[in-house]
Structures are given as C-alpha cells and as structure tokens.
Structure 1
Amino acid sequence: MRYRSFRSSIRYKLSVFLMAAILLPIAASILISYFYTKHSLKEDAIRENSNTIRQGTTSLIGQLNGMNNVSLYVYNNIRMTNSLYNILVQGRSDFMIENNIYSGLHAIEQSAKDIQQVYLYSDLADQSWLLIDGYLKREPGGEGLTGHFEQPLDKNHPFLEPPHPSHNYGMEEFPYSPSNTVFTIHRPVYRAPLKERIGVLSVDFKLDGFRSIMNMLYDKDEENIYLLDDTGTAIYTSREEEIGTKPDYAWLRHARYSFAGAGYFDWSGDDGFNGIVVFEKFELIGRIWIVAKQIPDSYLYSNASSVLRINLLVLLTFLFIAIAAALFVSVMVTAPIKRLTESIRKIKLGKLQFDGLERSDEVGVLGSAIKNMVDTIDNLIMRELRLELANKDNQLKALQAQINPHFIFNTLQSIGSVALHHKVPRIYELTSSLGLMMRYNMNTDEPVVPLSKEIAHVQAYLELQQQRFKDRLRYSIEIAGDPDLSTSVPKMILQPLVENCFKHGFESAEQAVISISVADDSGMLGITVTDNGPGVTPERLQELQRQIARGNSGSTEGSSIGLINVISRLRLFYNDKSAVTIGHAKPRGFSVHLGIPLTEGAVHHESADRG
C-alpha cells in the first residue's frame, strides 16, 4: 500500500520525470551510436576483407600457376636427345641416362623453394626415379603411384592430389621418408602429337607457400580461413588439423554452393558460429577453387562493445547525478506538499483539524485556504448531520403515528373474539394479520429490527391485500439459499415498497403479481421487490435515479416519497454502505433491489441508542 501511494506522489513523479529527461536522451544517443558504429564496422569490415580476399586470391592464382608450370618442365628442351621428354619417349632405363635423369629432376627441384621431392615414372621402361634433396633413387615398376594418382579425363590438366602425409613412393630402401604434409601435382606426360601417355611426373610441394599467403589474410587469434578445391577438400586452412580433409560446416557449404563468384553473407547457425563470411571463387587448372573467411561477431564488433561500455559508464555517472538532483528537488519542493497531502488524508479519515503551514509562498497560501475550508466544512457537517437525524426520525415517527394504534389494536382483538364465537375463522385470520401489523407499528421504541420481523410484517400486509383483491393478486416470498435473517435492518423498509406496487402497479393489470426475494449477494444481503405493473417511463426512471443519487427526500413527489424515505434511512443507518437499484422488470413492471451489508450499520438513530 505504501509503495502504491509513493508511486502516485508528486515526489515520485517529479523524480521519474527528471531522471527520464536526463537519461532518455543519453540512452537514445548511446543506442543510436552503438548501432551506427556496428553498421559502420560491418560495412568497413566487408569492404576491407573483400579487398584482402581478392588480393589473396590473386596471390594464390600465382602460386598455383607456378606449381603447374613446374610440372610442365618435363617438356623443356624437347629437341634435345637427352631431355627428360626424349628419355621417356625412347623408353630408356639404362645407366647411361642416369645423369640426364638426375639433371632434369634436379632442375625441377631447384625451380621452386617449396618443392620437397620429385618423382618420375616411365611407362615404356616401367621404371621409377625419386629425387630428394639432391639424392636420386631408382626402382623398377610404378607402384609408388598406386593410391595417389588418378588419370585425369582432360589430358591438358594434371591430377592434383590434396594435401597428404609425405611418402617415398614405395622405395623402402630410401635413406629417410619425410613426415610433413605436402600437396602433389601429378603431371601425365604425353607423346606429341598423339597424346599417348609415356610417363608421369609427380612434384611434392610443401604447404609453406600457401601458409605464407593465407596468414596475411586473417587474424590468427580471432578468425578462420579456408582454401578449398571443387571437391570440398581443404588445401589449406587456419585449422591445420583439417588440412586435407573435407570440412562439413553448414556455412562453408553455403559459400561453396552460392551462385555468386564473390561476396559475403551473415551467418547464425547451430554450429556455434555467429558472424559474417567473406568468400571469393576462381577457376584454375580445370577446377573451381574458393577462399572463405570467417569473421565472428565478437571480433567484428569488439570496438563497438568497447564504445558501448564507455557510454554505459557515462550513463551510470549521469544516472547517479540525476538521482541525487531528483532527490534534492523532491525534498526541497515537495516536502510541504507532502505535509498538505498527509493532513488531507487525516481529514478524509474524519479528523477535521488542520494546522496550516507557516510559509509565505504559494504553498503557504494554499495551506491557509485549506484550513479555512476544513473549519467551515466541519461546522456545516455537524449542523447538517443533526438536522438530518432529526428529520429522518420525525419522518419515521410521523409515518408510524398516522393513526391511533392502541384503539384500533384493541378493537381488532374484540372483532376477532366475536368471529371465533360465531365460527367465522377467516375474519379472525384477517383481524390477526391486521393486529400483527398494528403491534409492529405501535412499537416505536424499536427502530431497528431483525430482517425476519420485517418479512413477517410485509407478509401480514400482503395477506390483507389478498383478501381485498381476491384472485387478481398473486404474491410470493422466496428465501434463496441460507441468508442471515437475523441481520438488523431499519424498521419499515419493505412495506412502503410493496405499498407502492399497489399504488402504481395495478391500475390496469388484470392479474397482479408481486414477488419478494431474499438472497446472499456477494457479501451483501440482497432484497428484491418486483411487480408486473406498467412500470415507469424512461424519463421518470432517470429522474428517480437522480433523486436516489442525491439522497434528497425534501423535494420529491408524493408518488415516490416512500421509496426515497426508505433509501434515506438505509443510507443513514449503514453510512452509505448500502446499495439501492431501481429499473424495469422483465417482461414488464418495476423492480427495486436493496443491498444491505451483513455487518450492522455504523450510524444508529439516537432513539435506538436510548432504547
């Protein structure tokens, strides 16, 4: 409850307004700056990395072309009798050509620094030679190519063996076998111009050339880069354990199968990678290659995150200043207003005393005006309450004293005795009902009665009316559920309502129906009186509802004085906690519903207290 009242206070609203006025522009500026920075960083990263990948692709094309050209050295000096090409054409394998074989392979080995070893196989001589670091080894047969070489369909292109562990092509007696990873170009040698294969030249390249190019294209600590051939095999990658394998990443498949030759795309997948991918494809040596680079969001937006942290620190600083300023303003400006609201709250609880504020500003003038108003209201309320109590008590006594109850009651007892003596029980029943009504009305010292007595009184009244109207009248009193009939109510609240049914509801009705129902109604005791008469016009209904809302009984017409009198006494007794609803009954007629609190009213008639 205190939290709600604090939230509705001027101090709270003023504090919130001041903080919002300071923080919202700063927060908006921070968010706009953050998102703009992210967008700018992304655009710059895409542009710079696209240029870097393009330059790297150019270098890789040069590297691969250089490797391919090395494999074509076998066709050098084609007119010289002792060239590698002519030795293969002649199918020679004697020791006379050993030096020529060594010279040719050594020249190939020295043509590029990344070459690890050179292997030559002669189809016609069924002889193999292997040169490593200037050491030449020969063996019959070509088993060294088994599992490593496939004859390409296009005779203009070599067979490219993906990176694999280096081996000595089956020459077991070779002094040593390198264990590093190499990339091999197997060049089939054909007899010109018949395109008949006469041998195979295999050149093993270290991956240093790829490594030096690729290392310039990415950040080793944050990014990843891949060079793949058209089979999806990694020729080189920053994850060296994947070199020579076929990485099966969804983002990598997306880049490979993209129709674009170059570009980028955002990626957020289940593989744990969130960021952008920049790629470029190129065609060379009969294959389509792709260079793809991963740039994680955490790395891409690291600068933006740093800026955001700085801005947040600034925001927290301003937040502290704003809170301090808001509290200062709240205390200095709203403290007297809070005193005023606290005094008004006490006035609402019934303590009509106000000391005012010793201030000369606008708040002090307001406090003085409130003090004068409270004093005036206190005097008026006390006078009005006394007049209202006296007026209602006089109205009730006047209603009860319209006839001489003692004389009539004694007379009715005599009539009843005569009726029994002459054996006319119906007359006795009617006089008994009338006697009950008179006894009920005669007891002026009991203004508050249990609801059960009020129901018995109205039932006696209806029995008398039944005798008058015969078959034209039907009535019912229904007690729904288990309502508390011992609940105290002001006396004579039901009979005036039922009497109004006869006054206004049966002018033209052939069959009059009156129903009274009593039931529990959401913590209230509900009493409904309904008739099937002509009811009232909408205009008259609105007028009655306005009179009920005002609780004004001094200016009502005679046709509604009983209803307004009942409503006034209920409000006086229950301190405005009772409820009265009037309306049209269905399908026709008029309905009055009384809602009575299940606890006794807070205000009692002075006569009840004296009794």
Structure 2
Amino acid sequence: MKFRSIQTRLIQFMLAVTTIPLLLSLIITFSHTRESVKEQTVNENIRLIYQGATNLRNYMNSINRASLSVYSDSYFLRNLALDPDNHRVIAELYATLQAIQTGMEDIHQIYLHNYLTGQSTQVSSNLPRREFRKEPYRRIEQFGPGPAAVEPIHEVHNYGFPRRPADITDFKVITFYRSINNIPSPEQYALMAIDVKLDSILAICDQLYAKGEEQLYLIDDTGSIMYSPNPDEIGQPFADQTLLNEIAKEKQGYYDGKQAMVIYEKLDLPYAPWTLVKQIPHKTLYKNSTELTGINAIIAIFALLVVIFGTLWISIRITRPIKQLTSYMNQVQTGRLDVDIDVTSPDEIGILSRRFRNMMDTINNLILREYRLELANKTNQLKALQAQIDPHFLYNALQSIGTLALQHKVPRIYSLLSSLANIMRYNMRNSEAKVTLQDEIHHVRLYLELQKQRFRDQLEITWDLEPESLQAPVPKMILQPIVENYFKHGMNTRDTVGRLSISSRITEEHRLVVVVENNGTSIEEDRLAAIRRMLADPSGYEPRSGDAGDISIGLMNVLMRLNLYTDNKAVLTIENAVPHGVIVTLNINAWGE
C-alpha cells in the first residue's frame, strides 16, 4: 500500500520526468561535444601539420638550392679537373664551399670528395683541411638512389680527418649529400656532403604541438625518428609498427587509434622522404568536452536535488491533508459522527474536507430527524398492527374449516382449502428470495388446482418438465404472474377448451429455459410491439391503461426480479402463438452464475 500512495507515485513520476531528460541531455551533449571537438581539433591540426610540413619542405629545398649553387659557378666544375696542387684552384674551391657554408646559419661543415683527383676537403668554421683518398668517407648510394640524399640524424664527425682541439662533436646533425656531375653528362666529378644542424628543424617542430599534452614525431622512410619530444628517442627506430603501416598508406590524413588521434603529413621530397606525425591523446583531445560534461553533470545533480526536495514538499502538502481526512473518516467509521473536521487549506483538498464536514452535518441532522420520525411512527404502526388480521390466524382458520369439511365428508372442499392455505404459506415465506424451480412449479400447481375447480372441464393443463431443471434456483413468484395473465386477459372458454402448457429444460450453455404457452386470445400487434419495446428498454417504459398495460406491469415485474438475481443476464420474450394464443419464454442462468 505504501508503494501505491500518491506521494510515492508523485515522487517516482517527478524523478522520471526529470532524470530521464537530464540523462538524455547529458549523453547527447557529451556525444555531440566530443564529435564537435574531435572534428574541430582534427581540422585545426591538419592545417597546422600541413603548414609545418611546408616549412620543413621549404627549409630542405633551401639546402638543396645551396648545394646546387656549385653549378652556377662557371669555374667550379673546371677546377675539379685541374691540378690539385694549383694554389689558385684550391683557393677557388675553398671559396665556393665556404660561401655555401656561410650562406646558411645551420650548416656546420661541408665535405667534398673529388673523384677526378682523389682529393677530400673539409670546410668548417676552422681552417679547411684536405687529403687524398681513394674513396669518399660516405657514398651517396648508401642513402638514396638519386643525385641527392639525406643521411638520418647522427653524431657529427670529422669525415675521417684527425680530431682537433677546437672541434665540437657533441651534437647531432643531418647530412645532405649532393652528387656533382659533368652536366649534361652523367659522369660524377665529386660528392658533396653538407652537415646541417637541427636547430631550425627543431624550431619548426616545436611550434606544431603542445608540450606535455601532445607528441610530435618527424620520421624518415626507414622509420628512424628525426624529431621527438624526448631527445633520447632521436635517431632511434620508431617503436609503433602499426602506426608506421597506417601512415604509409596515404600521403596525408588522420586516423583514430586506441589511445590517441594521429594526424600525419609527408614532405614528399625525393631526397627527404620524411613524415610529420602528431599524436593527440584522447584525454587531451576530449579534455574540454569532459570538463563541459562535468559542469553539466553538476548542474543536473543540483537540479535533480531541487526537484527531489520540491517534490517531497509538494507531495507532503498534498498527502498530509488527505491522511488527515482519512483519519477523520476512520473515526466516523467507528461511530463518532460528531468528529470535528479541522482542515483549513484553501486548495481542492480543503474544499473536499469542508464538503465532507458539511455532509456529516447533514447526515447527523437527517439521523436526528429520522429518529424523531421513527418514534412518531411507532405509535401509528402499533395501531395499524392491531387493526390487521394476523395471516397466521387466517391460515389456521382455513385449516379449521378444512377439518370441518372432512368431518362432513366433503374432501374436495378440504383439498381446495389446503391448496389455498399452502399458497398463503408460500407467499408468507418472506425470508426466501430465491427458491428452486420445483418449489415454484409446486406453487403454480396449487394455483392451477384452484383455477381447475373454477373452470372444470374447460381447462386442460400440460406439463413437460425436465428433471434436471427442477433443481435450478429461480427468484420467487416468477411463474404465477405469467400464468395468471392467461386467466385475466387471454382465456376464452366460449369457443374452445382452454389449454395451458408449461415446460422447462437445461440448454447446453447451462441456461434454464421455461416456456409458458396458452391457446387464449392473441395480443394485438401494436400492443405486442409496445410490450417488446418495454422489455428491451425498461427505463423508457410508461405504463398504459388497459389489458396490455396490465400485461406489461406483470411481465416487467418478472423481468426486473430476474435481472436483479441474475446480473442483468436474463431474457424474457413474448410472442403470439399460431393460430392463436400467447407464448412467454424465460431464459436465465441455470445456477445463478
């Protein structure tokens, strides 16, 4: 009962209509925010990585152009083929290499190996050095098939020259190799190697990610790391082979990994096939959406608490007067009709309580008035009883007359008086509202025995009673009014003998069917139609004077009592017999179901 109370249902309803929309709003907002943040972040970082790749591409192209400047020097290729001991030739070669070395801030040193003379030259901030070698310190074929290639990040070295005290070798560089050919002939004259510091590359890469929250890698085509937030990883192979396989499929793009969003862009340079890879952890990617969802959740919880307390307050304001009114009703139920109902709330519950109080005042007044009327009527009833003939006295008197008839040897008189006495006794059984069909048939037999005495040979009675049907319960006094209508309105003994037939049976649907048929005068069609309308709609029936009106009243009384005891499932039909007469059929539940 507690879970069915208005207070409980109101709380459940308010929680449902509040919690469900809030949860749906949080879920939709969180999902939409995540997708919006993801899309915005991806687009911004695609543009950022593209710009970073463009900057790196331009930077490497500037080194490439610096290496190609030897072809713009008309004396450089010629000097490669001249006597290596010629001081003018040596000076011109040094001047060209130093111009390249000083032309860009990040160039640490330049190494040149002349295949024609076997001379290797090193040019750095210190004095240039040279020596004769059969082979260069490195061959370009080790790093790429074209005329230019890049050696991955490595510790700076002296290209085989003896170390000098002023040499600095505790940093890393990349080396750009350029094959110097006798254009347009593919004949290779020399190999130039340019050591480039990582400062500019690091500066470009540092601007492409948020340190501590994101990771950025510059990876070459061999999988070696050229840039990493962790300096110890520079020059080491990239560990995530799955990521390498993924970024190898397209020139640029992104994909959502298990732990992070990955955005990549390839430089697409023949001598520098590098790839910029940026990893944005999901925690960082969805940081703003998570914070926004947390704020919304706090607001939702606060709103939910307000709703809960508001619902409790409203439900108490509603249910407390109801409980108080219920308490008053319980007191009234125990017999305390003078209970003081004190509910002063101005709402509907207060109006109901005041109406209930007015009703109790009216009931008390009516009880008091009826009590006084009852006292006033007792005297009148006592006088009326004294003036009435006691039905038992009348029944006993009939018995005495019957005994006297036997003493004078007139048994027929005794039989008729006994029938009349039994009819009176049956009528006086007021405590029985329902009897068996057998008792009702016995009563009708007594009644017909008296009518038989009246009409003698002008009346024939036929019985067709199914034994099983005699035990069916029926309302008392339902057959005599139907049979009596025949003697009051339909019997005509001038032309033929009156015949009355009564039958009963039980149908397969367990319903009791009783048919009363006579050969008396048929009912006129318009009156028969009126009687049928009355039986079909008893509420719209208006009694009429005359024979048909009397028939209607008797049949109406029978039908009302049948419906009263059979839950409005009884059927009473009336029709004219052929060639004349009336047939009345009762159809009711056999066992009062």
Tell me the TM-score range normalised by the shorter chain.
0.5 to 0.7
Match of 1:135 among 120, 127, 131: 127
Distance in 2 between residues matched to 1:98 and 1:352, nearest whole Å: 133
Partner SS state of residue 274, structure 2: strand
* Contact 1:346-1:352 within 8 A present in 2 as well: yes
Per-residue Cα deviation, 1:492-548 (whole angstroms, up to 9, x for no partner): xxxxxxxxxxxxxxxxxxxxxxxxxxxxxxxxxxxxxxxxxxxx999569xxxxxxx
Q: How far apart in 1 are the matches of 2:143 and 2:273?
A: 19
Letter in 2 for 1:264: Y
CA distance in structure 1 between the partners assigned to 2:131 and 2:320 by the alignment: 106
CA displacement, residues 297-344 of structure 1 (integer Å, 9 cap, x when unaligned): 222222222222222222222222212211211222112445678999
Contact 1:167–1:179 (CA under 8 A) maintained in structure 2: no
What residue number does 1:49 align with? 45
Equivalent residue number for residue 435 of structure 2: none
Q: Paired residue for 1:257, among 241, 248, 251?
A: 248
Instruction: Report the counterpart of residue 248 of structure 1 in structure 2.
Output: 239
1:326 is matched with which residue: 311, 315, 337? 311
Contact 1:118–1:132 under 8 Å retained in 2: yes
Closer/same/farther in 2, CA of residues 539 and 172 from structure 1, 3 Å limit: farther
User: Does the CA-based 8 Å contact 2:225-2:238 persist in structure 1?
Assistant: yes
Distance 1:229 1:173, change over 3 A: closer
1:305 and 1:153, CA in 2 relative to 1: closer, same or farther beyond 3 A?
A: closer
Output the TM-score relative to the length of structure 1: 0.52
Aligned to 2:226: 235
Using the alignment, how far apart are the partners of 2:29 and 2:282 within structure 1? 17
Aligned to 1:39: 35
- Residue equivalent to 2:99: 107
**Corresponding position of 2:174:** 183
**1:168 offset after TM fit, Å?**
1.3
Q: State the partner residue of 1:518.
A: none
Paired residue secondary structure (1:188): strand
Instruction: Report if the CA contact (8 A) 2:152-2:175 is conserved.
Output: yes
Aligned to 1:125: 117
Distance of 1:38 and 1:222 partners within structure 2: 18
Residue in structure 1 matching 2:257, options 247, 262, 268:
268
The reply on whether 1:150 has 2:139 as its aligned counterpart is: no
8 Å Cα contact 2:173/2:197 also seen in 1: yes
Residues 195-594 of structure 1 aligned to structure 2 (within 5 Å) = 195-250=186-241, 252-259=243-250, 261-265=251-255, 267-269=256-258, 273-274=259-260, 276-285=261-270, 288-338=273-323, 358-359=342-343, 361=350, 364=353
Residue 308 of structure 1 aligns with an amino acid whose one-letter code is T
* Aligned equivalents of 1:289, 1:305: Cα separation in 2: 35
CA distance in 2, matches of 1:184, 1:17: 74
Q: Distance in 1 between matches of 2:288 and 2:27?
A: 15
Distance in 2 (alpha carbons) for counterparts of 1:171 and 1:302: 54
Query: Structure 1 344/215 Cα, relative in aligned 2: closer, same or farther at 3 Å?
Result: farther
For residues 433-455 of structure 1, give each alpha carbon's deviation from its aligned partner in whole angstroms, at most 9, with x where no partner exists.
xxxxxxxxxxxxxxxxxxxxxxx
**In the TM superposition, what is the alpha-carbon distance from 1:62 to its structure 2 partner?**
0.7
- Larger mean CA deviation between 121-130 and 177-186 belongs to 121-130
Paired residue for 1:64?
60
Partner AA of 1:114 in structure 2: D
1:332 partner amino acid: R
**Using the alignment, how far apart are the partners of 1:352 and 1:120 within structure 2?**
123
Residue number in structure 1 paired with 2:185: 194
C-alpha displacement of 1:129: 1.6
- Output one character per residue of 1:219-259: Cα deviation in whole Å (capped at 9) or x when no partner: 22312222223333333233333322331325632542223
Q: 1:257 to 1:173 in 2, by over 3 A?
A: closer
Give the paired residue count.
369
Q: Which amino acid aligns with 2:284?
A: Y
Q: Say if 2:140 and 2:191, in contact at 8 Å, map to a contact too.
A: no
Paired residue type of 2:78: N
Contact in 1 for aligned 2:150/2:271 (Cα 8 Å): no
Mapped to 2, the partners of 1:303 and 1:54 lie a distance apart of: 24
The whole-number CA distance in structure 2 between the counterparts of 1:256 and 1:185 is 25
C-alpha deviation, 1:23, in angstroms: 4.3
Instruction: Note if contact 2:54-2:267 (Cα within 8 Å) is conserved in structure 1.
Output: no
Cα pair 1:190 1:199 within 8 Å, conserved: yes
Structure 1 residue 151: Cα displacement: 6.9
- Segments of structure 1 that go 5 or more residues without pairing to the other structure are 373-535, 542-554, 557-611
Q: Which string of whole-angstrom CA distances, capped at 9 and with x for unpartnered residues, describes residues 401-442 of structure 1?
A: xxxxxxxxxxxxxxxxxxxxxxxxxxxxxxxxxxxxxxxxxx
- Closer/same/farther in 2, CA of residues 352 and 226 from structure 1, 3 Å limit: farther
Give the drift of 1:141: 2.0
**Match in the other structure for 1:546:** none
Q: Which amino acid letter does the alignment assign opposite residue 283 of structure 1?
A: D
Aligned equivalents of 1:174, 1:287: Cα separation in 2:
31
SS at match of 1:71: helix
How far residue 294 of structure 1 moved from its aligned partner, in angstroms, is 1.5
> What is the RMSD of the two structures over their aligned residues, measured on CA atoms?
4.1
- Equivalence for 1:116: 108
Give, in angstroms, the shift of residue 184 of structure 1.
0.6
SS where residue 226 of structure 1 aligns? strand
Larger displacement relative to structure 2 (133-142 or 353-362): 353-362
Gaps of 5+ in 2: 345-349, 362-505, 512-564, 567-593
Q: What's the counterpart of residue 523 of structure 1?
A: none
TM-score, normalising length: structure 2? 0.54
In the superposition, relative to structure 1, how do residues 14 and 33 fare at CA in structure 2: closer, same or farther (>3 Å)? same
The offset of 1:110, in angstroms, is 0.8
Larger radius of gyration: 2
Distance 2:184 2:174 in 1: 29
* SS of structure 2 residue aligned to 1:120: strand
Shift of 1:6: 4.6
Change (3 A) 1:7 1:152: same
Instruction: Give the Å deviation of 1:163.
Output: 0.9
Q: What is the one-letter code of the residue matched to 2:70?
A: V
Of residues 135-144 and 59-68 in structure 1, the stretch that sits farther from structure 2 once superposed is: 135-144
Question: Secondary structure of 2:268's partner?
Answer: strand
Moved more, 315-324 or 60-69: 315-324
1:106 & 1:336 partners in 2: Cα distance?
102
Instruction: Supply the distance in 1 between the matched residues of 2:331 and 2:310 (Cα, whole angstroms).
Output: 31
Is 2:144–2:271's contact at 8 Å kept on the other side of the alignment?
no
Deviation at 1:112, TM superposition (A): 0.8
Amino acid at match of 2:311: A
CA distance in 2, matches of 1:352, 1:169: 119
